[in-house]
Structures are given as structure tokens and as C-alpha cells.
Chains A and B, each alone.
Chain A
Amino acid sequence: MGELAKLTIAGARDALRKGEVTAVELTEACLSSIAEAGALNAFVHHTPEIARAQAAAADDRLKAGDAPAMCGIPLGVKDLFCTRGVPGQAASRILEGFAPEYESTVTAKLWEAGSVMLGKLNMDEFAMGSSNETSVYGAAVNPWKGTDGKALTPGGSSGGSAAAVAADLCLAATGTDTGGSIRQPAAFTGTTGLKPTYGRCSRWGIVAYASSLDQAGPMTKTVRDAAIMLGAMAGHDPKDSTSADLAVPDFEAMLTGDIRGQKIGIPREYRVEGMRDDLAKLWDEGAAMLRDAGAEIVDISLPHTKYALPAYYVIAPAEASSNLARYDGVRYGHRATLAQGDGITEMYEKTRAEGFGPEVRRRIMVGTYVLSAGFYDAYYNQARKVRTLIKRDFEQAFAAGIDAILAPATPTPAFALGGMKNADPVEMYLNDVFTVTLNLAGLPGIAVPVGLSGEGLPMGLQLIGRPWEEGALLNQAQVLETAAGFAAKPGKWW
């Protein structure tokens, strides 16, 4: 049974259409893999009844010959997506007991396409974190282990999604990416993670962190699967005014494998001081693979790269402080027990102190500070101007004929859970140094596993594409994937 859960979306789709396997069998295989994998702490709310009902309905559609590509494919859903009637709390205590009365647009589209919901996946609280350790459920655990046998982080914030896909608990999962939260966990687990262009997928029904940066995307075993799943997630939604009214192309059909003559930029500012030797080597090898496939490798400059991280840590907390003002103990979730004589202000203050974890409290307060009178121009407006310059860097590179940019995904492979316990918050923020730039610029990016580190852990590279050209980006990524031939899997210890 466990073997079926190892299928890719493309493999399962073909087997389902040929009648070699049923959606019910596929779903049962995933449910039993999940039942054995409690040690990974990836699935935090289980929905086997929903899964079985959806699988049976998918089998009916398959029999009737009315089956889109995602029909019958069992998925995990990041806890950030609202799914009607299923507990969802963005891994926060403040949403304890919350069962949304509505369905996010992205998950609604996946269910309409016939996909099967296995449950909700672990993440950092409100998607704020790079190691899954800020979760109220406790950290998700990476199925990969280092040579010293220590438990590793699957990354964050979509850590549960990455762990579940890497451990073959589901065929694929949804993630969201505000500063790297799809690509960093994908790189840490040897899986593929795509952050689409801002506006490609509707944000409606996804718990908001930083609205001008948040974007949902697929987390999969292969690039082809990312293309198939993105097709089902994307599209205009009148309920999200920032979702783009553009046609969704057939991304899978754009995987031609031909990148001859394309220009791939290598940004010199990403070669940061102190870069690990194995990472620098991997990056060079990745560039050589694309060159061998007929692409031209071009050195480029993105001069404002260094300022992306500080700009992000102004803009994201500012937006978070506004977005998270809604958690007030009135309409949903946790409310603190009040003392005699406490009024509404005490209710807000106690509820929010109890309900939010330390990292979320910290970001809300930093955001409050940078938006407060007297500092708005010095911090918030300055960061927004720098953001304009960061976007301009990319626009100039693309205008000079660059088709895509190749960069590392993360500065290191997965680190030990608890390993950053004594680090200050800024050290943890440095995890996002290669990923955060394109959230600020709204660009699509994909992390692809390319090799193993010195300690035998997966390492990924990142391709950054032109806006709205996910099809071309996926094609470039598949060329890299094929050339790298990354096939390593973690040994099963859970």
C-alpha cells in the first residue's frame, strides 16, 4: 500500500485514467502512511472522512471519463488555508477551536478539480518563521536526518507541507510563500516548491500575514507535478482584488525541455561572503547544466539585493500588525479569562498576549513601531522606496534580455531543531536572504533539488522567472531537474 503514496501526480493521474489504480486505493495508501508518521508531526488535523468521500466521488468521475488532471489526487493542505468545517488555526493558539465557515478559493478549485483532502499540515505560527518551531502544534520534523542522527527542521513556514511530501504521506501539498516559505522548506527536504507571480493564485480564504507579499503555490515531488497543480490552483477571483485577470495557460504543455538560446543570469550579489563551498560548487554545477542544455550563462548585477532582507523586515511586520489586529477575542478563536472589573481593552491585551506566540508578538510590535507617528517615513516609506529599487533591478535585468535567474535557495541545508534556540531573531531571518527578494518584486520562483551537501542532506537551487511566465520558468526548472537527476530519498526511521 505504501508504494502507491510514493507516486507523483503525473504518475497517479495516468494510472487512474488507465484504471490501474483507484482514487480510493490511493487515498487509503496515503492515510496509512500518515497514520505511521506521527513522529514527523506533519499532519495536525486529519480529515479521513472527507478524504474517503472525495475519493469515491473522484472514482465516479474517472469512470464517467470526466476527470481533470488533479482528479483523485490526495493532497495535504497547509493550516493557513480555510477549509469549511475543518479546524484551521494558522498554527496559532489564538485561533484555537476555529472551524471556518467558508472555503479558500485555492482549495475550492482543487476540490472542484476532484482532488482529495487528507488533512491540514503543520507550519510556523501565522507563517512567521523559517524552521516550523513557532507552531502551536510543536515543530514538524524533517524526514531527512544528518549524519549525527539529530532531528532536523523541515524549514518554514510551510514545514509540514515539505515534510509530508518528502516522506510520501501525500502526493503533493499546498504552501504559501511570503519571504521564502515554500522554497526554503522545499530545499531543506529535497522537494520542489513553486512560488507563483504575485496575483496568480487568489489569496481569498488564506489567513493573511503580509498581503502585498503572500502567495500560494504547489509543493510537489517533481517540476511536472508543480506545473499540473499550479494549473488547478491559479486563476482570477473576484473575491481577491489583487488576483490577476489573466488566462491560465496549460503549464504542463510548456515543458518542452528546450531552453536553447535562453539567457540565464547569475547575480553576483548572491555570492555572499562566507558562502559554503558545497553550495558555491552546486551553484556552478547548476549553471553548467543549463549551459550544456544550450542556455547562455550571463553574469548580472542586482545591486540592491543586500537591502531586501531589511526592507522585508519592515514591510512584512507592518502589514502583519494591521492584518493581525482582527484577532481581538470577539469574533473567533481564543478569549482570555478576565478578572473582575476588566474592560474591553484588558480583554484585547490579555487575549493577544496569551494567544500569540513570541515571534508573532515580536513582529506585530515591530510593525506597530515602524508605522507609528514619527517613524512612518524613516522606516516604512523608506522600505517601500527600497522595494521599488529592488523591483527595478530585476526589471533592468529582464529588459537586457535575461530569461531567468539562477541562485541558491538557502544559505545552508536543513539545520537541527533547537539549533537556533539561542540565536537572536535576526540570525533566523538570514535564512530568507536568497528568497525574499522576489517576494518584494512579485516574481515567480522555484526551488529544485540539485544535489547533496557535505553532510548528505538535500540542497536546492532557485530559478527566478519573469512575471506571469511560470510556464517558461517551469520548463527551465525541469531542464535543471533532469540534468541534476536528484533521486535521493530519506531512509524511513519514523
Chain B
Amino acid sequence: MSIDEGTAAKVAKLARIKVEPEELPHLAAEFNNILGFIEQLGEVDVDGVEPMVSVTPMRLKRRTDGVTDGGMQERILSNAPDAREGFFAVPKVVE
């Protein structure tokens, strides 16, 4: 599998990371290098092998579906780059 510049641009878009067009050839080359290394996984016979879900077999614990925490709007907003009137502020989302 070889990644071209178009695929590299698509991956950057999916990852929401801006990549300038002139950087795309280099990025595609890096991807190809890493994927070339990963490719060897294809050699392994995995017939009948389950993909690992959890490294330690365990049943996830359940708890009562109740409110355990809250009432800390100010603390939650304290690290926001832009918070106004008790909300996170972002550029316009809906036209």
C-alpha cells in the first residue's frame, strides 16, 4: 500500500490538522516509511485468533446511575481560551 499526496491530505483533514500543500510530499513519504514497517504484521498467521479487547480479562464494574459530582461551572470554564456568560465560546457553527 502506497500513500499518495491526496491520501495524505485526506488523513490530515480527518485528523483536523492543517497541513500546507507544500508539506504533503514529505508527509506522504513519512507515512509510507512507517506503513512499510507496519506492513510486516501481514505475515503473521492469525487464523482463528480473536483481536484483543482487554489485556486483563475483567468485567467492568457497574455503579448506581446517579449524580456523583457537579456544580462546578466556574472551575470547568477556568481553563477555556474563550468563555463567556458561563459558556465555552466558539466561532459560528451554524450558518
**A353 and B81 contacting across the interface, CB-CB below 8 Å:** no
Asked if A52 is at the interface of the complex by the 8 Å CB criterion, the answer is no
Residues 382-414 of A, flagged 1 when their CB comes within 8 A of B and 0 if not, give 111111110100000000000000000000000
Q: Which of A110-118, A137-145, A149-157, A307-315 contacts its partner? A: A307-315
**A442 and B55 contacting across the interface, CB-CB below 8 Å:** yes
A381 contact set on B, CB distance < 8 A:
51
CB distance from A358 to the nearest CB of B (A): 9
B80 contact set on A, CB distance < 8 A:
330-332
Asked if A46 is at the interface of the complex by the 8 Å CB criterion, the answer is no
Residues 438-449 of A, flagged 1 when their CB comes within 8 A of B and 0 if not, give 001110000000
Pick from B27, B33, B49, B50: contact of A426, CB under 8 Å: B33
Asked if B67 is at the interface of the complex by the 8 Å CB criterion, the answer is no
Instruction: Tell me the chain B residues, 47-95 only, with Cβ under 8 Å from chain A.
Output: 49-56, 58, 60-61, 63, 72, 75-76, 78-82, 88, 90-93
Interface residues of B, dominant DSSP = loop
A363 to B35, CA, bound (A): 12
Most-contacted residue by chain A among B39, B49, B52, B90 (CB, 10 A): B52
Instruction: Tell me the chain A residues, 257-304 only, with Cβ under 8 Å from chain B.
Output: 304
Asked if A425 is at the interface of the complex by the 8 Å CB criterion, the answer is yes
A175 to B85, CA, bound (A): 39
Asked if A348 is at the interface of the complex by the 8 Å CB criterion, the answer is yes
Interface residues of A, dominant DSSP = helix
Pick from A328, A356, A424: contact of B33, CB under 8 Å: A424
A343-B92, A362-B30, A372-B11 known; A388 vs B56 contact (CB < 8 Å): no
**B37 and A388 contacting across the interface, CB-CB below 8 Å:** no
Q: How large is the interface on A (under 10, 10 to 19, 20 to 34, 35 or more residues)?
A: 35 or more
**A368 and B14 contacting across the interface, CB-CB below 8 Å:** yes
**B49 and A385 contacting across the interface, CB-CB below 8 Å:** yes
Q: How large is the interface on B (under 10, 10 to 19, 20 to 34, 35 or more residues)?
A: 35 or more
**B90 and A347 contacting across the interface, CB-CB below 8 Å:** yes
B11 contact set on A, CB distance < 8 A:
365, 368-369, 372
* A and B contact pairs by CB, cutoff 8 A, 30 listed: A100-B79, A244-B56, A245-B61, A304-B44, A306-B40, A307-B40, A307-B41, A310-B38, A310-B39, A313-B38, A329-B81, A331-B76, A332-B81, A335-B82, A349-B17, A353-B18, A362-B34, A366-B31, A366-B35, A369-B35, A381-B51, A382-B44, A384-B51, A385-B50, A385-B52, A386-B41, A388-B52, A424-B33, A425-B34, A442-B56
Name B residues whose Cβ lies closer than 8 Å to a Cβ of A.
1, 3, 7-8, 11-12, 14-19, 27, 30-31, 33-35, 37-44, 46, 49-56, 58, 60-61, 63, 72, 75-76, 78-82, 88, 90-93
Name A residues whose Cβ lies closer than 8 Å to a Cβ of B.
97-101, 197-199, 212, 238, 241-242, 244-245, 304, 306-307, 309-311, 313-314, 321, 325, 328-335, 338, 342-350, 352-353, 356, 361-362, 364-366, 368-370, 372, 375, 378-379, 381-389, 391, 424-426, 429, 440-442, 467
